[in-house]
Structure 1
């Protein structure tokens, strides 16, 4: 079973997580035989956090309770509060995840925290545009590895800018290998374009007894 740790912090950007958490939690489009996935919210304390959309989240576990191995993934969403020193512990844990072969997936403001600790200095990555990490992460030295794309996957590191949530979700799902390739392609194209033919193509990739109307 994969364990997906979702770091939660005040001002979390709700929309950046929607595609990926919904699909991983529901499993509605999972291929037959795919490993089960367990999602756990994690934070630096047991206190509730309030998202940018005003939702309240009670963390499931603490940072030091996370297990880093090849069946673990840490998802770091964007937020306006990443500059707070209190998030240093989860970025240190992110480094442990990467070293252990576990996946780290960061989007928007979370990429500034990774950049500030040198975790993007030697690996292909992206963020909110060229120059963004220089502006918000003074210690950043990974400019030559920056890729100007909505989302970039480099083995067990997947980064995205604030407008790259859909592609980021696709790359995370692909990394976990829980969709058939044709299901993933049709799913992505439907949400990317809104064209009905991709919805019907998606339905055709699924078992007849799947409940996928939502």
Structure 2
């Protein structure tokens, strides 16, 4: 069974990985786990309190299939956890590495975006991360999947979900239906 580990931080944007984790657990029957700095409970931007399964420091890339960085305000501050080595190790080991919204800043800091097509909240959001991948930036409102790395702006939780499942080899007609179901509200009538 595939395992997804989502990193949550204080004030995380609870809507960004909600569809992904719900579909993973309820529809695909994947194992979903949550990790936080120090393994302490965190509260989301919307007031959702989460008691994690493990600490970020305890994540073992060999025990997961996808490592997901949920967005939140901490990623744009000096208090952001340094997960660069963990992200690089997971990618080298063939795992899916995904980030949405400000979580993409962690991928920028890790160097994983230096030679990988990616997106974010905007190209200017990555300038302070020290990354050298501006020529690989894709300016679009949907998630980007390249080389097992998924990135998305915070406004794209539906395509983020789809790209993570695609990266895991789970792209089927069922996924296409599910994506269409959640994207229907964005169709101009």
| TM-score, normalised by the number of residues in structure 2 | 0.89
User: Which structure 1 residue ranges, 4+ long, deviate > 6 Å from structure 2?
Assistant: none
Q: Following the alignment from structure 1 to structure 2, what is the Cα–Cα distance between the partners of residues 66 and 51?
A: 21
The size of the alignment, in residue pairs, is 184
Specify every segment of 5 or more residues in structure 1 that has no aligned partner in the other structure, as ranges: 31-35, 196-214
Matches within 5 A, 1:159-174: 159-174=151-166
Deviations 1:29-70 (A, max 9, x none): x4xxxxx51111112213211110111111111234322249
Q: 1:208: which partner in 2?
A: none
Q: Secondary structure at the match of 1:81?
A: helix
Matches within 5 A, 1:131-210: 131-134=124-127, 136-137=128-129, 139-149=130-140, 150-178=142-170, 181-194=172-185
Q: Secondary structure at the match of 1:106?
A: strand
| TM-score, normalised by the number of residues in structure 1 | 0.79
Q: Does 1:104 align with 2:108?
A: no
Specify every segment of 5 or more residues in structure 2 that has no aligned partner in the other structure, as ranges: none
Matches within 5 A, 1:1-214: 1-27=1-27, 30=28, 36-69=29-62, 72-82=65-75, 83-88=77-82, 90-134=83-127, 136-137=128-129, 139-149=130-140, 150-178=142-170, 181-194=172-185
- Asked whether the 8 Å contact 2:74–2:80 carries over to 1, the reply is no
Cα displacement (A) at 1:193:
1.4
Identify if the C-alpha distance between structure 1 residues 70 and 42 changes in structure 2 by more than 3 Å, giving closer, same or farther: closer
Cα displacement (A) at 1:194:
4.1
Bigger Rg, structure 1 or 2: 1
Identify if the C-alpha distance between structure 1 residues 71 and 48 changes in structure 2 by more than 3 Å, giving closer, same or farther: closer
Q: Secondary structure at the match of 1:53?
A: coil
Q: Following the alignment from structure 1 to structure 2, what is the Cα–Cα distance between the partners of residues 142 and 114?
A: 11
Cα displacement (A) at 1:86:
4.8
